[in-house]
Each structure stands twice: as structure tokens, then as C-alpha cells.
Amino acid sequence: MLKLYSRKIEHLSRWTSEIVIGRLTDNINLPFPLRSEAILLVKQPLCDGLPTGFRAYLLLDNTEYDTSQINNCFRLNEELHYLNAEDVVRFDPKQPALSVIYRRHSNSNSLLVTERCNNYCLMCSQPPKDIDDGYLVKDLLTAIPLISRETKEMGITGGEPTLLGEDLLTLIRTLKNYLPETSVHILSNGRKFASEQLACQVAQIKHSDLMIGIPLYSDISNIHDYVVQADGAFDETIRGILNLKRYKQKVEIRVVIHKQTYSRLPELARFIARNLLFVDHVAFMGLEMMGFTRYNIDDLWIDPTEYQPELVEAVEVLAHNKMVISVYNHQLCLLDPRLYPYNRKSISDWKNEYMPECKGCLEEDHCGGFFSSAIFKYSDNITPFLIKQ
């Protein structure tokens, strides 16, 4: 698992106390006027020493340099040696601590916009915190202009992004202005879109490729409300989806499968086909063993092999109604072969792994693999494919 945050950093020079948000460069000949905004990433020894004028210096090797003429020079621990030119980082010289905001060579970048949430889901992988984290948006507004315009997709995640209100609209506008060809995917519980005004405000931005992913856990309101631990959430979420579609916004329904949700998957699929046929995508998702999931493991864990009949039926109901369907976060060897056409490699690259049982498997390239956190618990039925499917 790649570390996106680290405090294993060594001071090598004087440092300033201001937060640095910058794009990494490995160009030691960068013109002087551009250096004051750039962070030099040094991977190989430099015979002529460190060039002056850069905003900060991050060293990945052990070469000793004269740092008397520069500020903000630090050596990074091995866990950050994957960093590359054009990545964007937030660096706090005082701590010191470094957060990776964007990785140029990754196709799973997402921006954490708040840790606050109005749900309290049993399986939340990022448990909400009731804190003032308004600095996150401020930092992201600085970072977005530094991100490569060739980025294909950018996620917005929380917490619950809609709690930001006007700030969320500003973020979407900024993404549209600086990254006009980048798809944006927002993960939201959808409840705030029960306000038609918010759905209308998002639509008015006219982002050319914006999708909002909204979880729905049951066709029965009490079950959905129990899973998200919030009374009335089901009604608000459904009204939110309807409002977004009223304003022609793209909506994806996300269903996390666990002990509380698997048995009614076919009924949920019929509910979606009957009432929400116009949504753009339905994703059935495997469980991530992070955050609250570990605390509630006895109420959540079910081996994926045990819910294949319900999952197959749900997918067939939606497919029969010509809906676009994906199965995310699953190991291929646990899936019913009828689900193979819907299986996607969906786990973000920085937390995607394979287990020792996978050794020799000929289908690893087509398998979603595991979240790094699956080491905590995963199926006993992992069986490598010894023949290509």
C-alpha cells in the first residue's frame, strides 16, 4: 500500500513555517522565474550540488549537499520514493509532514474535501470527524491549477462533499476551468440533493463530464436508514437522485454488499429498475476492511461465495432492463462466471494488492484483487486459475 501521508522526513536546511503546496519537478535547469513556485525532486546525485531558487527540495537519495544557501531542503523516507515529477504535494515544513494530493501517473486520483458527514454508515471506511476542516478546500483550490490537464479522471470524496455547500460549487467550477477535459466523479450520500436548489446549482455549472455516485442499500427505507445510521436518509437520498436527474445530472447508484444488504439485492434491483431506470450506472461493490467495518465485522462480513445467487439475480434484473452495470472490488475466482462481463478492476492503485494464495493465477490481469486492508479478513475460497478463462 502506497503511503499518501508521511512524517518520516529529515530536515537538512533552514525551513520556513508556511505550508507549501506545489508541483514536483526534476528539472534542475528550470528557468529562475519558475523556480520559486516549484519543488525540486532529487532522485540522483547532482555533481554540481543543489541549484538555488526552488521553493523546496525533496531528496530521495543519501548524497550530502551544502544546504547553507537554500531553504526547505528535506530527505524523504523510502515510503515516499515513488514520487515523480508533476505530482502535487502539500508540505508542512514545521511538522514536517507531506501529503500527496495528486499523482501524475495514477488513474485513481481523488481529492478529500471534508471529513465531516451527516451519515454514520456501519461500514464507513473513513469514519467522519466533526471538525473544522475548511483548510482542505482552501488547499485544493491552490492545488487544482497545478494538476496536469491530461488527467483523465478526478474523484471528489469525503466525508460528505455536499456539506461544503457553496465551497463544493466553487471546487466543481475550478475543476471545470483548469481541467476541462477531466471527468469528475463525486461520492455523495445524495441527501443534500433533496434540496432542488443544490441540484440546480450543480447543473448550472454545466460541467461537461460530471457523475455523482450515490449509495443505496435497500428497497426498504428502514434497512437503508439502519445501514447509514440516519433516520429519514432513504427518503432524502431518493429525492436527491430524482432532483439530480430532473436537472440532467449523471448519477451512479452504488450498492455495498454485506450481511445487511445481500439478501434483498434482487428486490433492490427491481426497485431501481421500476423507479430509477434513468440512472446512468449501477455498481455492486465488495466490502473494504477499513474504519468502522472492522468494528462491525460480525454484523457485516459474509463470504462473497455465499451471495453469488442474489448478486447474479440482481445483475440479471438490471441487465434485462438495459441498465449499465458494474461489479467492483471483487476477486474474480469468487464470482459466478455469469458476472465476469460486469467485473471491473476498480480498487485504487495505491491500495490494491494480491494475496499469497494468488500465486500462479493466470487471471490476475482480469481480477480486481484485494484492498490492502483485506489482510484483516478475506475469503477462505481464493483459488488461482490455472487455466485461462
Binding residues for ligand SF4 (CB under 6 A): 331-333, 354, 357-358, 361, 363-364, 367, 369, 382, 384-385
Bridge pairing between strands 97-102 and 352-353: unpaired
CA–CA gap between residue 278 and residue 249 (Å, rounded)? 11
CA–CA gap between residue 26 and residue 85 (Å, rounded)? 6
- Smallest distance from the beta carbon of 376 to ligand SF4, in angstroms? 16
CA–CA gap between residue 26 and residue 87 (Å, rounded)? 11
DSSP code, position 303 = -
Q: Which is nearer to ligand SF4, 213 or 369 (CB)?
A: 369
Q: What is the CA radius of gyration of the chain?
A: 23
Q: Which is nearer to ligand SF4, 57 or 370 (CB)?
A: 370
H or E stretch at 203: helix 196-205
- Smallest distance from the beta carbon of 359 to ligand SF4, in angstroms? 8
- Smallest distance from the beta carbon of 123 to ligand SF4, in angstroms? 21
Q: Which is nearer to ligand SF4, 298 or 365 (CB)?
A: 365
Q: Which is nearer to ligand SF4, 50 or 361 (CB)?
A: 361
Location of C-alpha cell 490494491: 352
- Smallest distance from the beta carbon of 371 to ligand SF4, in angstroms? 12
Q: Which is nearer to ligand SF4, 33 or 360 (CB)?
A: 360
Task: Give the Å distances, CA to CA, from 263 to 43, 56, 122, 308.
Answer: 52, 54, 17, 10
- Smallest distance from the beta carbon of 381 to ligand SF4, in angstroms? 9
Q: Which is nearer to ligand SF4, 265 or 358 (CB)?
A: 358
CB atoms within 10 A of CB 47: 6
Three-class DSSP category at 340: helix
- Smallest distance from the beta carbon of 306 to ligand SF4, in angstroms? 16
- Smallest distance from the beta carbon of 336 to ligand SF4, in angstroms? 13
- Smallest distance from the beta carbon of 370 to ligand SF4, in angstroms? 7
CA–CA gap between residue 252 and residue 279 (Å, rounded)? 6
- Smallest distance from the beta carbon of 387 to ligand SF4, in angstroms? 12
Cell numbers found for residue 179: 481541467
Closest residue by Cα to residue 148 from 58, 23, 27? 23
Contacts of 242 (CB under 8 A, 6+ apart): none
Location of C-alpha cell 537519495: 61
Three-class DSSP category at 214: strand
Q: Which is nearer to ligand SF4, 47 or 386 (CB)?
A: 386
State the Cα angle at 382 between 381 and 386, rounded to 5°. 125
State the Cα angle at 190 between 231 and 277, rounded to 5°. 105
Q: Which is nearer to ligand SF4, 333 or 339 (CB)?
A: 333
Q: Which is nearer to ligand SF4, 131 or 362 (CB)?
A: 362
The stretches of 108-182 forming alpha helices (DSSP H) are 135-143, 166-178
- Smallest distance from the beta carbon of 340 to ligand SF4, in angstroms? 11
H or E stretch at 319: helix 308-320
Q: Which is nearer to ligand SF4, 158 or 369 (CB)?
A: 369
State the Cα angle at 327 between 324 and 329, rounded to 5°. 145
Is the CB of residue 314 less than 8 Å from the CB of residue 294?
no
